[in-house]
Chain A
Amino acid sequence: MNIFTTDFFFSIIRIATPILFATLAAVIGEKGGISNIGLEGIMMMSALFGSLGAYWSGNWFVGLLLAMAVGLAEALLMGFFAFNLKTDIILTGTAINMIGSGGTLFLVKIITGGASTTNLITKSLQIPSINIPGLKSIPVIGAVLSGHSLLTYLGFLFVFLTWVLLYKTPLGLNIRSVGENANAASSVGVSVMRIRYITIGIGGVLAGMGGAFMSMYYAMGWSQDMVAGRGFIALAAQSMGNGEPLGGMLAALVFGFAQALGIKVSATGVDSNLVAPIPYIVTILALVIFALNQRRKEKKRYATALK
Chain B
Amino acid sequence: MSEYAIQMKAITKVYPNGTMANQDVDFNVKVGEIHALMGENGAGKSTLMKMLFGLEQPTSGEILINGQPTNLSSPTVAISKGIGMVHQHFMLVPSLTVAENMVLGMAPTKSGIMIDYKKAVAITEEYSQKFNLPVNANAKVMDIPVGMKQKVEILKALVRGAKILILDEPTAVLTTQEIQDLFAELKELKKQGYTFIFISHKLNEIMDITDRMTILRGGRSMGIYETKDVTPEEISRLMVGRDVVLKMEKEEARPTDEVLRVRDVEYVNEWGKKMLNKVSFSLRKGEILGIAGVEGNGQKELVDMLFGFNHPNAGTISVNGENIIGLNQRELREKHISLVPEDRMLYGIAADATIEENLISDRSGSKELNNGVLFNMGAIHRMSDDLIRDYTVLCKSRSQKIGSLSGGNIQKVVVAREFSNDPVLIIADQPTRGIDVGATEFIRKKLVELSRSGIAVLLISADLNEVMELSDSLMIMHGGEIAAYFEDTRELSDELMGKYMLGIEHQSPEEIRRVCHE
Contact = CB atoms under 8 A, between A and B. Distances in A.
Interface of A: 164, 168-170, 172-174, 176-177, 180-181, 183-185, 187-190
A177 B96 contact: yes
Given A180-B94, A184-B104, 8 more contacts: A173-B100, A173-B104, A177-B93, A181-B92, A181-B94, A184-B90, A185-B105, A189-B75
B114 A177 contact: no
A183 B153 CA distance: 14
Given A168-B115, A188-B160, A189-B76, A173 B107 contact: yes
Contacts of B92: 181, 184
Interface in B386-422: none
Contacts of A180: 93-96
B84 to A, nearest CB: 10
Interface string B99-111: 0110111110100
A189 B105 contact: yes
B122 interface: no
A170 B93 contact: no
A155 B91 CA distance: 36
B346 interface: no
Given A168-B115, A169-B113, A169-B114, A176 B95 contact: yes
Nearest to A183: B91
Contacts of A177: 93, 96, 104
Nearest to B53: A187
Nearest to B106: A188
B79 interface: yes
B88 to A, nearest CB: 12
Given A170-B107, A174-B104, A185 B160 contact: no
B205 to A, nearest CB: 25
A184 B107 contact: no
B156 interface: yes
26 contacts: A164-B114, A169-B115, A170-B115, A172-B115, A173-B104, A173-B107, A174-B105, A176-B93, A176-B95, A176-B96, A177-B96, A180-B93, A180-B94, A180-B95, A181-B91, A181-B92, A181-B93, A181-B94, A184-B91, A184-B92, A185-B93, A187-B87, A188-B91, A188-B105, A189-B75, A190-B104
Interface of B: 75-76, 79, 87, 90-96, 100-101, 103-107, 109, 113-115, 117, 156, 160
Contacts of A184: 90-93, 101, 104
The residue in B75, B100, B104, B107 that gathers the most chain A C-beta atoms within 10 A of its C-beta is B104
Nearest to A190: B105
Contacts of B103: 173
Contacts of B94: 180-181
A185 B156 CA distance: 12
For the complex of A and B, the 7 pairs showing the least CB-CB separation, nearest first, are: A188-B105, A170-B107, A184-B91, A177-B93, A187-B91, A190-B105, A181-B93
Contacts of B115: 168-170, 172-173
Contacts of A189: 75-76, 79, 105-106
A168 B92 CA distance: 19
A181 B117 CA distance: 21
Nearest to B87: A187
A164 B104 CA distance: 17
Contacts of B106: 188-189
Centre residue among B92, B105, B160 by max chain A CB count within 10 A: B105
Contacts of A174: 104-105
A173 B91 CA distance: 15
A170 B75 CA distance: 21
A187 B84 CA distance: 10
Contacts of A168: 114-115, 117
Contacts of B93: 176-177, 180-181, 184-185
A185 B104 contact: yes
A173 B101 CA distance: 9
A200 to B, nearest CB: 20
Nearest to A167: B115
Nearest to A178: B93
B113 A188 contact: no
Contacts of B101: 184
Most chain B beta-carbon neighbours within 10 Å: one of A172, A176, A177: A177
B415 to A, nearest CB: 34
Contacts of B109: 169-170
In the complex, which of the residues A169, A170, A190 has the most CB atoms of chain B within 10 Å of its own CB atom? Answer: A170
Nearest to B109: A170
A165 to B, nearest CB: 10
Contact of A187 (B75, B95, B107): B75
Contacts of B96: 173, 176-177, 180
Contacts of A169: 109, 113-115
A187 B104 CA distance: 10
Nearest to A181: B93
B313 to A, nearest CB: 14
A181 B107 CA distance: 17
A92 to B, nearest CB: 21
Nearest to A164: B114
Contacts of B117: 168
A190 B115 CA distance: 16
Nearest to B94: A180
Candidate in A169, A184, A190 with the most chain B CB atoms within 10 angstroms: A184
Nearest to B143: A305
A173 B115 CA distance: 9
A181 B103 CA distance: 15
A45 B87 CA distance: 46
A164 B101 CA distance: 18
A173 B109 CA distance: 12
Which of A164, A168, A174: most chain B CB closer than 10 A? Answer: A168
Contacts of A183: 91
A177 B115 CA distance: 15
A303 B79 CA distance: 40
Contacts of A190: 104-105
Contacts of B104: 173-174, 177, 184-185, 188, 190
Contacts of B107: 170, 173
A173 B75 CA distance: 21
A180 B140 CA distance: 13
A46 B115 CA distance: 33
Contacts of B75: 187, 189
A2 B100 CA distance: 52
A174 B103 CA distance: 10
B76 to A, nearest CB: 5
Contacts of A172: 115
Contacts of B79: 189
Contacts of B87: 187
Nearest to A170: B107
A173 B87 CA distance: 22
A23 to B, nearest CB: 20
A141 B96 CA distance: 39
A170 B94 CA distance: 17
A172 B113 CA distance: 11
B390 to A, nearest CB: 39
